[in-house]
Amino acid sequence: MTDDVLAVHGGSPLHGQIRVRGAKNLVSKAMVAALLGESPSRLYDVPRIRDVEVVRGLLGLHGVKVTDGADDGELVMDPTNVESASSDEINVHAGSSRIPILFCGPLLHRLGHAFIPDLGGCHIGPRPIDFHIQALRQFGAVVDKTPEGMHLTAPNGLHGTKLELPYPSVGATEQVLLTAVRAEGVTELRNAAIEPEIVDLICVLQKMGAIITVHTDRVIEILGVPRLGGYNHKPIPDRIEAASWAAAALATRGEIEVLGAQQADMMTFLNVFRSIGGQFEVTDARVPRPGVSGVEGGIKFWHPGGELQAVALETDVHPGFMTDWQQPLVVALTQARGLSIMHETVYEQRLGYTEALNSMGATIQVYRDCLGGTPCRFGRRNFIHSAVVAGPSKLHAADLVIPDLRAGFSHLIAALAAEGTSRVYGVDLINRGYEDFEAKLAALGAHTERL
């Protein structure tokens, strides 16, 4: 046996209250942004997840002093003495995260050179870094690829440029922002990602002294500045984690209040949740008054009883239905009456997790065709990227092996909804993006134990 196995005794509704902290997809990038400053930065409401530890380690290797602040979840990052790190030290982190590629611009600005190891992350498609490298070269970087990674230099400094993304990639947009803010001149980025986490990163950079304009039609303009300071920032809450718990409430016929969740960034998800038959209530924060403590707001999600209804969905870039929402929601859709359609248009290999759901009694068929309103970039490339879910299906326990972060939480939801005891292998991978998920499960009345 290994302590990376969780026994899940399913079949009982989840009830209770949990809290989400800062968004995983913002916090780690804001930590990288601290490298660009010449004074300390403070980041609040930071979740205790593996990705944060990876970035904290990488910052430490480059001379950034990272300490815990006075408040729970507060990080203080002092980049006063940024220094080079050895390839061997950095390589310790190779394969554990895709974040290192975003260190390129900040390190080139601070040191004039950077080394980036081979990249890891979840195996949901190749997510090539070609555009990252192409963009850095347009800024003036010289890239030398070696077997252990990439060595970058900027002998003539970095200069603003005009770029257009072939697809509004979040990672590529972050790369341009983190590089352009201190590049000499103006950078214009077209077809940029505009996810809430991207807007929040722009807020972080603006607090540091950056000049960034978000135009209509996915155009972002950055006027480079010679130096940046630190920031104090509380990130937006994690809308992926909030939606994951919402799907768990629906799949187990329970009720979960997610404190910290915000309506504005989840509107698309909330519409779908209601269309399926789920109910939710937005609970706004109440301001403390003399003698009365303040109460944090959030969103309460619940299954109202009766039958859930099938839906047809396509994932898309923001403001569309987020790709990271689809896996947890598909588990809930196995309990909906009729045929639901899920057309994945963001990652080409994100439906592999459905095989495990079928082994538990679900009826999910996957297709290479575009089962959506408009053809997508995967339609003629032989990728399995559409699914039809027939329901309702009675799920039963099984042995499950977690393949990636979001699929892992989906497997966990399925085990909670299924009758009997499932053994879920590789659960520590869930720690990459879900803080204290076992403690939260316990708070919701779930019966689990480490084996």
User: Residue length, the chain?
Assistant: 451
428 known ligand binder:
no
346 has binding-site annotation: yes
Residue 440, marked binder: no
Residue 29 annotated as lining a ligand binding site: no
Q: Considering only CA atoms, which of 202, 198, 164 is closest in space to residue 317?
A: 198
104, 122, 370, 376: the catalytic one is 122
Instruction: Provide the phi-psi class of 341: left if phi over 0, else alpha when psi is between -120 and 50, else beta.
Output: beta
DSSP secondary structure, 305-334, as one string: SS-EE--EEEB-STTSB-HHHHHHHHHHHT
Region of 305 please: left (phi>0), alpha (psi -120 to 50) or beta: left
Report strand pairing: 312-314 vs 336-343: parallel
324 is in an annotated binding site: yes
What's the CA dihedral at 121, 122, 126, 127 to 10 degrees? -60
Find out whether 314 and 345 touch, Cβ atoms under 8 Å.
yes
What are the φ/ψ torsions at residue 204 (nearest 5 degrees)? -60, -50
Contacts of 416 (CB under 8 A, 6+ apart): 8, 10, 12, 14, 248, 251, 252, 441, 446
Contact 21, 238 (CB under 8 A): yes
Q: Does residue 104 carry a catalytic annotation? A: no
Say how far apart CA 278 and CA 388 lie, in whole Å: 20
Feature table: binding site for UDP-N-acetyl-alpha-D-glucosamine: 98, 324, 346
Feature table: binding site for phosphoenolpyruvate: 24-25
Feature table: binding site: 24-25, 98, 324, 346
The residues that are catalytic are 122
